[in-house]
Chains A and B, each alone.
Chain A
Amino acid sequence: MPIGGNMKKEIKVMQGNSAIARGAWEAGVRLAAAYPGTPSSEILKEIADNYPEIYAEWAPNEKVAVEVASGASIAGARAMASMKHVGMNVASDPVMTLSYTGVKGGLLIVVADDPNVHSSQNEQDSRNWARFGKMPMLEPSDAQECKDFTKIAFEMSEEFDTPVFLRTETRVGHSDSPVVLENRVESKIPTKVDQKEAQKYTMVPINVRVRRKVVEERMKRLEAYADEFKFNKMEINDTRIGVITSGVSYLYTKDVFPEYSYLKLGMVWPLPKKMIDEFYKKVKKVIIVEELDPFLETEIKAMGYKVFHGKDVIPNMYELSPEIIEKALKGKKYKEPEIRVKTDELPRRPPNLCAGCSHRPLFYALKKLGAFVFGDIGCYTLATAPPLQAIHTTVCMGAGIGEAHGAMKVMGNEGLGKVCAVIGDSTFLHSGVTPLMDIAYNKGNSTTIILDNRITGMTGHQEHPGTGFTVRQEPTYAVDYAELGKTLGIQSIRKIDPYNIKESMEVIKEEMEKDCSSLIVCTNSPCIMLRREKRKFEHPTYTIDEEKCRGCKACLEIGCPPITWIEKEGTTKDGHKRKGMVSINKDTCVGCGVCVQICKFDAIVPAVK
C-alpha cells in the first residue's frame, strides 16, 4: 500500500530538521540549545514553536550550547545541541572531552554539513569528528530516518555512556518526506546531581587516564553493536556489484542503479566490520559512494579490502546528485541530456542585500573611505560582491576583530586611517567579545564597527542576547554594546546612524585615524525585514525625475535591487546629453533615501506607492 494511504497512523510530510525536533520530543528530551546556522537552524525553532515540554534556548554560540546540554545531561535529563558544521569547530573543545566524561541523560550533538557550500565558509566533512573524538555517529538519509535516528541516538547515548553525533547535510535537513508520528515517552532517569560522580565528570589527569581506557573499551563495544545495529542494512540484489554508502548518497545511487546490491550504513562510526566482511563475501565488486572525504573508503581499504570504485571516479568536493553518480559509474556510456540553451551564459542571480538594508549605506561609506575591511560572517558578507566590493576578508565568526588588531600591530602608524573590522550583532556576541577585549588589553589601536540590526539576519531572524527576546519571544535582558565596550576598556566609543552617509564617513574616518582602540556601534538600523523594530523613513518610496537624471550611474554603485539602468540616449531639461538613465521600481523601493544622498543632480525625488 502506498505510504500515505495508511490512515491508521498519523503521517505528515516533514522537513528533515522538523523530524529531528519531533524525534527529540518523542524521545523525552528535556533541553535543547543551539546557535543558528544553515542548514541546521530549523531544529531549535521547531522545538521552541511546537514542543513546550522541551526547554529551548538560542545560546550565544555552539560551545555554550553544548555546555548547557551537557549540564542537563549530568543532571539526568536527555538533552541536545544542534549546529552547522563550522559550529562544531567552536563546540569541539567541550565535545572532545565529553567523549571522556560520558553522559547520564542521553546527549545528542546534531551537526549539519553543507556540501557544495550553499551558505558556508568551508566544506568540511563532519564524519571526521566521530573518528577523532571516538564517539558514534549516525547519518540519516530522509526525514523518517531523521526522526528514528534521533530517538535511537538517545538510547545509544545512555547505553554506551557517550555523546552521540547525528550528522545531516543540506539535502537531508532541508528535504521533506513523509514521517510516521508517535507519542512522547518520558525518560526514567531521575533528575538530580550526585557529588559521588565527581571522578567521572572531573577531567584532571588522574581521572582522565581512567576514562581514557573506558573510551577505548566503549569503542570496542560500539563496534560489536554496529554489526547488530538495525539501521545498518544489507540489500542483496544483483551480486555482481555491491555499493557501500550512507545518508543521501544512498538515495541518489539507489535511484540510478536500483539493480545493484547495497550495504547502507545508518551508523557511519564505528563501522560494522563483520557486516562489511559478510557483504564482501556476497558481492563480486564493491563500489563506495560517499560525499566529500573518502571516509568509508579509507577505513575499508585499511581493513584490507579492495575497492572497485570510490574516489577514483566519485568527486571528493561539492555535493553529489543522481546524474553525477550515474556519470561517474557509467563513464562513456552516460548519455548527456540535450543542451537546448547554454544556460551558463545567462545573467546570474546571486543573493543581494535587501532594498533598504542598513548595511548598504555603511559599506558604501567604507568604500568611499577606501578602507581595508576585515569582515565577518553574515548578510553583510554580501558586500564583497560588486558593485560594493567593500569586504576584504571573511574567515569565521569573530575573526575580523582580531585580524584588524594584528594588521594594525604590524603596520604601525601606516595603518592609521586605512583599516577597520566590521561584525554583526549576533556574530559579535558569538565570538567578537574576546578579541575586542584583546585590543583593549594589548593597547591596540584598531577600529571595530558593530552592525547592529537587532537580529540574526542571514539565517532567518533568530533572537540572540542583544535583541531583548528569547527563542519563545519572552522579553529579556539585552546587551548594550557601547557599555560592554567601555567595560572591556575600549578608549573611544561612538554611535552612528548608517543611513546618514556623510556623518558615518566622518565618524569612521576620525576613529580609524585615532591612535587608540575604537568601537563604533550602528544604531537605529534594524534589519529591514524585521517587522517588530521597523525603521520609519521620511518617504514611502522614490522615483526618478527624468528631466534631471544625467545617467551618471553614481546611484548604481550601491547595488540596490529596485534601481535599474535603462540604455536610451536623450537629454536633460537643462540640455545635458545622456546615454541612458535609471529607473526605480516603486513596488520594491522602501524609501530608505540612500540613493538620494548619492545623486548630485537632485534627480531622485519622493513618490507615493
Chain B
Amino acid sequence: MKENGKVTNIFLSGVGGQGTILASNILAEVFLKAGYDVKKSEIHGMAQRGGDVTTHFRFGKKVYSPLIKYGDADFLLSFELLEALRYINWVKPDGKVVLNRQKIYPPSVNLGLAKYPENVEETFKKFFKDNVYVVDGQEIARKIGNIQAANVVLIGAFSNFFPKIKESQWVDAIKTLMPQKLHDLNIKAFQEGRKAL
C-alpha cells in the first residue's frame, strides 16, 4: 500500500455479466472503511448485452478524478483474457497484472471473421515479468459449486496485494454488499481466491 498523498489506481476489465461491478463495489467498501477517499467509474448502458466493461477504481488520501489517467494504472485486474490485452497499455511499467484465465469469444470471432488473440499470458509476462499473476477463477468457483462466484474468487486473489487490510475487512464488505443467502458461498469464494496466489 502507498503512503499518504499518493493515489492507487486499479483498472478492472471484463465482459458484461461477469460481475466486475460487484467486484469493484467490494473494493470501494473495503478501502472506504479502511479510511481512504475512494472514487470509481464505470460504463453501464449496454454492458449487459455482452459488451466490454471497464471500471476505474482509485483510492488514496484525497482522490479527484474518477478516471485513471491513460498509462497510469498501478494494477490491472482482468476477468477475461482479450479484455485484459485490450488495456495492456493502461498499466504503468512497474504495474501489477492479475489475469483470469477465461476466454469469451466476441461476435467477430464467433463468425470466423477474426482470430482470438493467442498467448495473452505470455505477452503480459514479456512486458511485466514477475508482476503477472494468473488465476483460474471459474475453475475455483466451479469447485465451490457456483461459477457465478468467479468474480469474488478474483477479489480474493487480488486481496493479497494489500497486506495491511485484514481478511475480516474483506469479509465484512462482502456481507454489507450481498444478500444474506449468498454470504456463505461468496465468503468461501473469497477465501479460496485468497489462497490461490
Contacts and interface: CB of A to CB of B under 8 A. Distances in A.
B38 A343 contact: no
A17 B82 CA distance: 31
A553 B111 CA distance: 8
Contact of A347 (B15, B34, B36, B116): B116
B180 interface: no
B86 A561 contact: no
Interface stretch (B48-56, B129-137, B155-163, B184-192): B48-56
Given A13-B28, A326-B69, A348-B108, A174 B44 contact: yes
B89 A340 contact: yes
A564 B66 contact: no
A2 interface: yes
B108 A347 contact: yes
Contacts of A178: 32, 37-38
B93 interface: yes
Interface in A96-148: 118-119, 142
A38 B44 contact: yes
Nearest to A322: B69
Interface string B31-48: 111111111111111111
B178 interface: no
B82 A347 contact: yes
Given A174-B44, A349-B82, A321 B69 contact: yes
A351 B46 contact: yes
A289 to B, nearest CB: 12
A354 B50 contact: yes
B19 interface: no
Contacts of A174: 41-44
Contacts of B16: 351
B111 A559 contact: yes
A177 B39 contact: yes
A90 to B, nearest CB: 19
A2 B48 CA distance: 35
Interface in B2-42: 15-16, 25, 28-29, 31-42
Contact of B43 (A170, A336, A343, A567): A170
Contacts of B47: 351
B64 A349 contact: no
A251 B66 contact: yes
B66 A248 contact: yes
Given A351-B49, A354-B49, A118 B66 contact: no
A563 interface: yes
A228 B3 CA distance: 38
A155 to B, nearest CB: 27
Contact of B71 (A255, A337, A351): A337
Interface string B87-129: 1111001000000000001111111101111000001000100
B85 A561 contact: no
A4 interface: yes
Give the contact-size bracket for chain B: 35 or more
Interface in A275-309: none
B139 to A, nearest CB: 14
Contacts of A351: 16, 46-51
B50 A561 contact: yes
B88 A341 contact: yes
Given A38-B44, A176-B38, A323-B69, A350 B107 contact: yes
B171 interface: no
Nearest to B90: A337
Given A13-B32, A321-B69, A561-B107, A349 B41 contact: no
A142 B43 contact: no
A239 to B, nearest CB: 21
Given A13-B38, A176-B39, A338-B71, A171 B32 contact: no
A152 interface: no
B67 to A, nearest CB: 5
B49 A337 contact: no
B83 interface: yes
Contacts of A251: 64-66
Contact of A2 (B37, B41, B68): B37
Contacts of A564: 105, 109-110
B109 A347 contact: yes
A61 B161 CA distance: 48
Contacts of A556: 110-112
A529 B45 contact: no
Interface in A335-367: 336-341, 343, 346-354
B67 A321 contact: yes
B66 A177 contact: yes
B48 A460 contact: yes
A322 B127 CA distance: 24
Q: Lowest 4 A-B CB distances belong to which pairs? A: A337-B71, A119-B45, A565-B112, A351-B51
Given A177-B38, A346-B82, A382-B46, 20 more contacts: A2-B61, A13-B40, A39-B45, A119-B44, A175-B40, A176-B39, A176-B40, A176-B66, A177-B40, A177-B63, A177-B66, A252-B65, A255-B65, A321-B70, A322-B68, A340-B123, A341-B123, A351-B47, A559-B110, A559-B111
Interface of B: 15-16, 25, 28-29, 31-52, 61-72, 82-83, 85-90, 93, 105-112, 114-117, 123, 127
18 contacts: A2-B61, A4-B36, A11-B32, A13-B38, A142-B39, A175-B39, A177-B39, A178-B32, A252-B65, A341-B85, A341-B123, A346-B82, A348-B108, A349-B52, A350-B106, A351-B46, A387-B111, A563-B110
